[in-house]
Structure 1
């Protein structure tokens, strides 16, 4: 595969041009996507202090998250480097207060420097070659008191899922990362809670809330097929998504990270300091 045809950027990040249909069908066109959005609909108002403040939606993809915030009165700036994803989002978000920027996360210091009181970055860091630096870039955009809604693909859940499926050699070798090739959607940098805890501290951010998204669904032997079963599954997911130990095996981990009011803004090239 030539560099021109590679789905990876020069920085080694996963590109998603040409995958809008795949995303729409695989991630949002199935029960797992509906469940993810249903849980976010309940979790976001509980985990964030929302008062209509402007939102920076980093890696906004097809625009589902931007729509949720825009419909609740937040002016949204959606940053997305994949042209096809961005144009799909633009079509879906017609009539809403959304501004679109064509840029990767690494370009935020130039295109959306902030400071921002509210940033969302959902299911993005796991597709980057250097998620640690990416989190530092996000942290540096936050105003004192600002909130970052961060959702990442959970490496521990991926390991557990592989064991459940019988992929024992893969789990023993800890070969969990995707290669970023072809149409496959296994993240290249699945993350652990321990990494988010450590990196947040490095950036001077406090973890105010955490939840697991899909703590049961992805381990079911048989999918919930009836509406009644899906309702019961949602009830179970909601009951346990913020309870230890269940949240730790969510397919995604959702965090509210806050820059303390008295903290200095840290750039990725600086050491954190009070």
Structure 2
């Protein structure tokens, strides 16, 4: 990843949601990189995706549509494994960051990634496909209408295609608030962020029950589900040595797909498929 100088943006800066009620991240690329991907929680998230995606997807060097690709980690992961990737991202800052980083990644095949600055809602016009493999990781929770977003993703998916969907887990957020002593907040279910400042609490955290219902409404089948960061966020004493970090990763890998543990993952990772059309 590129170097990350201290952000010049003041903590008091105000950010506005889009007319659709979505949260974009112009001006926050450096904060994302520093806070999410150069910290233990981000490192664990990427390590778990590296472990889970080959298990949960049928990867056959497809063309991949990476929706809301952010800083470009997922696009790079697929491109390094031989896939042709179209990475979409509504934030000009995030897309620029990803392009600059990708240029310096020696393991990326030349021209393996195509970039498109566009919100999810416009992709049926600008990247209609249909696509045999779509990834949409940590996007729905930043949208004003995540239910409609899943319907759009279903429209983009080819019959027999796979959607790798990762969402911020509302149930885990409630549990985390209770553990921290925010009992009234947890009881009243006041969990969503406002999206007005630099804090990164999602504006639309999603529950597993909602994903089940929305998938069924759009004719999608849940083939697999896993929890990401099941244990890490609840540790009283974070791992302090490389050995402890490896032990935590092993623990996360062992139980990420076991009920009831996966249900409290900070993120829920799904493989959704669209059934083949039967003549």
TM-score (norm 1): 0.93
- Is the contact between residue 214 and residue 250 of structure 1 (CA under 8 Å) also seen in structure 2? yes
Q: In the alignment, which residue of structure 1 is the partner of 2:168?
A: 153
Matched residue SS, 2:125: helix
Q: In the alignment, which residue of structure 2 is the partner of 1:196?
A: 211
**Over the residues paired in the alignment, what is the CA RMSD in angstroms?**
1.1
Cα distance between partner residues in 1 of 2:49 and 2:20: 30
2:68 corresponds to which of 59, 79, 82: 59
Q: In the alignment, which residue of structure 1 is the partner of 2:197?
A: 182
Q: In the alignment, which residue of structure 2 is the partner of 1:228?
A: 243
Matched residue SS, 1:100: strand
Q: In the alignment, which residue of structure 2 is the partner of 1:128?
A: 143
CA shift, 1:155, in A, is 0.2
CA shift, 1:96, in A, is 5.0
| Cα distance, 1:263–1:223 mapped onto 2, change above 3 Å | farther
Cα distance between partner residues in 2 of 1:58 and 1:17: 17
Q: In the alignment, which residue of structure 1 is the partner of 2:89?
A: 80
- Is the contact between residue 151 and residue 254 of structure 1 (CA under 8 Å) also seen in structure 2? yes
- Structure 1 residue ranges (4+ consecutive) displaced by more than 4 angstroms after TM superposition: none
Cα distance between partner residues in 2 of 1:173 and 1:76: 42
Q: In the alignment, which residue of structure 1 is the partner of 2:158?
A: 143
CA shift, 1:71, in A, is 0.2
Cα distance between partner residues in 2 of 1:212 and 1:96: 33
User: Does residue 1:44 correspond to 2:53, yes or no?
Assistant: yes
2:41 corresponds to which of 32, 35, 40: 32
Give the paired residue count: 260
- 1:215-246 alpha-carbon deviations (Å, 9 max, x no partner): 00001111111100000000000000000000
Cα distance between partner residues in 2 of 1:118 and 1:84: 26
- 1:5-63 alpha-carbon deviations (Å, 9 max, x no partner): 64311111011000001100111010110000001001000000001000000000000
Q: Which runs of 5+ in 2 are unaligned?
A: 1-13, 104-109
- Is the contact between residue 71 and residue 96 of structure 1 (CA under 8 Å) also seen in structure 2? no
> Which aligned pairs between 1:109-120 and structure 2 lie closer than 5 A?
109-120=124-135
Q: In the alignment, which residue of structure 1 is the partner of 2:223?
A: 208
CA shift, 1:91, in A, is 1.2
Q: In the alignment, which residue of structure 2 is the partner of 1:11?
A: 20
Matched residue SS, 1:223: coil
- 1:151-184 alpha-carbon deviations (Å, 9 max, x no partner): 0000000000000100011111110000001101
Cα distance between partner residues in 2 of 1:247 and 1:162: 18
TM-score (norm 2): 0.92
2:80 corresponds to which of 71, 86, 109: 71
User: Does residue 1:101 correspond to 2:116, yes or no?
Assistant: yes
Moved more, 137-146 or 88-97: 88-97
Q: Which runs of 5+ in 1 are unaligned?
A: 265-274
